[in-house]
A and B are shown apart, each in its own frame.
Chain A
């Protein structure tokens, strides 16, 4: 005889789970009791939101499904931002929540919330389990759904009487999950691939536009091979950074609102856009009508709903990006070179490089560049959201996939610190940096407690400008410098770290940057750096909201 809780823990182990992030509470007591002497590693966070972000960070860094666990009601509700973050970036996590006993469901019982209802719009699928017998099947399905096709979060809500309920014999386990309502397409349609080859043969100014889908399908190698074979320049989205080495000669860096000028000019002038694992997000396209206005578009994505959603495309190819790029490489002859096109891009690169005023003051771009020079190519950078994220995206040279962990779609402030904990457990031998702002870090700063308790060696670099910097920048540019509620009083972050038993240094001048970064890297365990940067430094260039991508401002400010 086995309890539902026991079946759950056994099921998690069968799925290969080693680490879960969670927070106990009333209705998950049976599950926690089962965890007590299970070989699963459980990391006790300080807030359930952090458990979801940590599971998400784990998934992004490892490519496997991350797992988090919370109690009913407030515990489950606190997961929601983390689940939505994972949903927007197609990250596979399984979130397990406790629920009030089935007899009390719908009665407004203590700590009851309809978490399957609440998370319906932000999960790929969710389950309310009705009997212990169903737990193994549902868990197996949940992992399958989360990790296949276009990945995403799945939530399993388990009432207390289901986790204490028993089964006489183990329910049978299926070899492979098969769901009649869920059959992702992996192989590209042959006729569409042939049409893509035809367009590629005719193009004079082709451009690859690669995104998070390339990272998710582990297709970086295929992407680079394809680009090199055809000599096609590549621009990536925020989510696609690391898919192509940052210093690769064909790489134009990021496009869109804070992209490089040359990437945005290239996308405006290309005659063939090969969109790979992307979704034409508004932060990428700017004004949609003026995005790639002269280009035929080939769109490769595993999710048919992304094709034609924001922009009409000429050749849709639904399937796994890796398969399809591999097939295109097979079908295409080495050719092209597009001499004139490359000359043109080289001109833009020379005339409009990314730049900032390096005048001896402590500027964030300089810090990121120094960090980029100091770390190894497979060390991992996590970011918060805002200016810190954009400066990192612009000035850190990502050389490998899954070394850049950031909340792109939802733009969740407070993501970085808890996500970096998950990243550590996925890649324990790598240095993990969380690049933060003083606003973002304070959204989940309680996780210093978790980091201290488990001695998680995360290095935290706060780019501290005592502002909600990105919002302040918009107020400066678009709201007549009326800094409405964006100023934050100074906080002594080093003292906060110290209160948790974590070492740190405050850095106030450019000269101290290198040695401070080295100290952080070389000190075993967690470390906090509080960089007091130029307060009103902006992220440039910027495409104003609603403008066309080639109408950037601030590109020539220095």
Chain B
């Protein structure tokens, strides 16, 4: 059982996301994260789903996804050379002078950006892999994380290989 990153090319049509997520819940697969957006092909979108399962489960979910008429291509990026990123925004308590400068120092080390500064809070933006974001969150906990939002992971194969239509 390990997390798999599935890159799914779909027709950009009403209801396609609910077809995909409905399939996961109906067949008892859990979605760890999900990111959707339009892509380089007109009329198509790309969904990146991270889900946890053993090889047989992942194979089954991919086969079931492939059966959906609006799905053009499903690829499992997991065992390939790939780049993956996730973006998070973290609103953290920063009312005293000391914690404020500590947080800014931490942000610098993590190459996070401060994108909002209030009288009592800071909002940090961080991009990276899941572990990096988790690590930053852990460090910020001591100051009090008021809100955290993550985009869900997106991924791409390294080099010239692509996840294209033609399944």
Contacts and interface: CB of A to CB of B under 8 A. Distances in A.
Interface of A: 116-117, 120-121, 124-125, 128, 145, 179-183, 303-305, 308-309
A183 B167 contact: yes
A120 to B, nearest CB: 5
19 contacts: A120-B15, A120-B19, A121-B26, A124-B69, A125-B70, A128-B14, A179-B69, A180-B166, A181-B10, A181-B68, A181-B70, A181-B72, A181-B167, A303-B67, A304-B63, A305-B63, A305-B67, A308-B56, A308-B60
B137 interface: no
B71 interface: yes
Given A121-B22, A121-B26, A304 B56 contact: no
Contacts of B63: 304-305
B66 interface: yes
Nearest to B59: A308
Contacts of B101: none
Contacts of A180: 11, 72, 165-166
Contacts of B56: 308
B18 interface: yes
Interface of B: 10-11, 14-15, 18-19, 22, 26, 56, 59-60, 63-64, 66-72, 165-167
A305 B64 contact: yes
Chain A binding surface, main DSSP class: mixed
B11 A181 contact: yes
B60 A181 contact: no
Contacts of B166: 180
Contacts of A183: 167
A308 B61 CA distance: 12
Nearest to B70: A181
A457 to B, nearest CB: 39
A448 to B, nearest CB: 36
A117 B10 CA distance: 18
A121, A180, A182, A183 — most chain B CB neighbours (10 Å)? A180
Contacts of A124: 69
A34 to B, nearest CB: 27
A181 B18 contact: no
- Top 6 nearest A-B pairs by Cβ distance? A305-B63, A125-B69, A181-B72, A182-B69, A181-B69, A121-B26
A304 B19 CA distance: 19
Contacts of A305: 60, 63-64, 66-67
Contact of A117 (B18, B26, B67): B18
B21 to A, nearest CB: 10
Given A120-B22, A125-B68, A125-B69, 4 more contacts: A120-B15, A121-B22, A180-B165, A181-B70
Nearest to A182: B69
Contacts of B71: 181
B43 to A, nearest CB: 10
B83 to A, nearest CB: 26
A531 to B, nearest CB: 40
A124 B69 CA distance: 8
